[in-house]
Amino acid sequence: MNINNIKSQFPIFLKKINGKPLVYLDSSNSAQKPISVINRLDSFYKNEFSNVGRSIHSLSVNATNKFEETRISVQKFINANSKDEIIFTKNATESINLVASTFGQQNIEKGDEILLTELEHHSNYVPWHYLRENKGAIIKFAPINDEGDIIISEFEKLITKKTKIIAITHLSNVTGTIVPVKEIVDIAHKKNIPVLVDGCQSAPHIKIDVKDLDCDFYAISCHKVYGPTGLGVLYAKKKWLEKLPPFIGGGGMINEVKKDKITYAKLPEKYEAGTMPTAEVVAFNESIKFMNMIGMENLIKHEKELTNYALEKLRSINSVRLVGNPKNKAGVISFTINGIHPHDIATILDEDGVAIRAGHHCCQILHEKLNVNATARASFGVYNTKEDVDILCKAIENCRKVFDLK
């Protein structure tokens, strides 16, 4: 698949915004969907729909087989040891809550410590906060420097005998920082501390190898990986899934139910209670095929070139201030314009057909650390081009003119 012509695979780009071609620079929020994913979702509902694991008729057997094919595809995509280590959830937020709840139930007591970083999205903070509220846990935040990089020496200093788990993002949705996860996991495992990785931003932009990272848990948001909404993935080492209790109770996750006793299903069904998002799981297989056809190496190269081009162009515009300058950066660029609120920037850019995000991006702690209330953010997907960056920069110049900035 030619990455230079990839935009033609996305029907959304036939749409015009205010009479102008859509320039979509909000992929960190959610990625647009290729036609193959859209068609698969449509086809499943039209021709194949059934619940999974409930019946033995042909439709149900077929749906169950397709559902499990996706599980195997995800296993291969992230290089997990077993398909039983792949749990489908409704989003990455639920994946992280699953770990926080079950791990916390078994392993967290009053005074125990949970180590996060100042880069974390609220989805990788609030679930741990519940343990602070309900169990008296202590949350520590490893600091970042002014460039947006984690200070590893300071990170290590925060680890104590009370540290029970470390939860870190792989890629910041504000600064674009690619966190040295493998190094952090090595440090943690030397002290027998498990590590959860929030892979929401990294899965579409970095080749994920959970064996190489050796992390204990990895959360993925499928709608950011060109897949359907309402679907997430939790990878967890089998030893943890066998040890931890179920998260949600109900049909599908049980083995035997008696009045005085309940036994639970084997993995992975133990963690997949109730009716699952079957169509979304089946369609997500097309997202993985789409990524594999492009090739992660090609995608990474494309986005790196695009990011470097955008940084150079934006730095040349008066009054534009880039937020963060990490050593290892992906295609997420947050910025401010002196004298213009980010919400106004986004509103005016929208008039030129340019879609960006503005606000704190569910990272209030990080924005406080960077001493900024809100930022405008341009984030890239496989469909973006240098022409998109040029249009963005032109729209920013128009924005400056509206506010009469020199």
CA–CA gap between residue 390 and residue 388 (Å, rounded): 5
Which positions are annotated as active-site residues?
A: 362
Q: Which residues contact 37 (CB under 8 A, 6 or more apart)?
A: 226, 227, 228, 283, 284, 286, 287, 290
Tokens representing 392?
A: 């963005």
Token pair, residue 288, equals 């993985």
Question: What's the CA gap between 128 and 124, in Å, rounded?
Answer: 7
Question: Residue ranges of the alpha helices (H) in 167-248?
Answer: 181-189, 210-213, 238-243
Alpha-helical segments (H) within 44-140: 58-78, 92-107, 126-135
Q: Could you tell me how many helices (H) and strands (E) the chain has, helices first?
A: 13, 17
* Token pair belonging to 406: 């020199």
Rg (CA), the chain: 22
Facing residues of 184 across strands? none
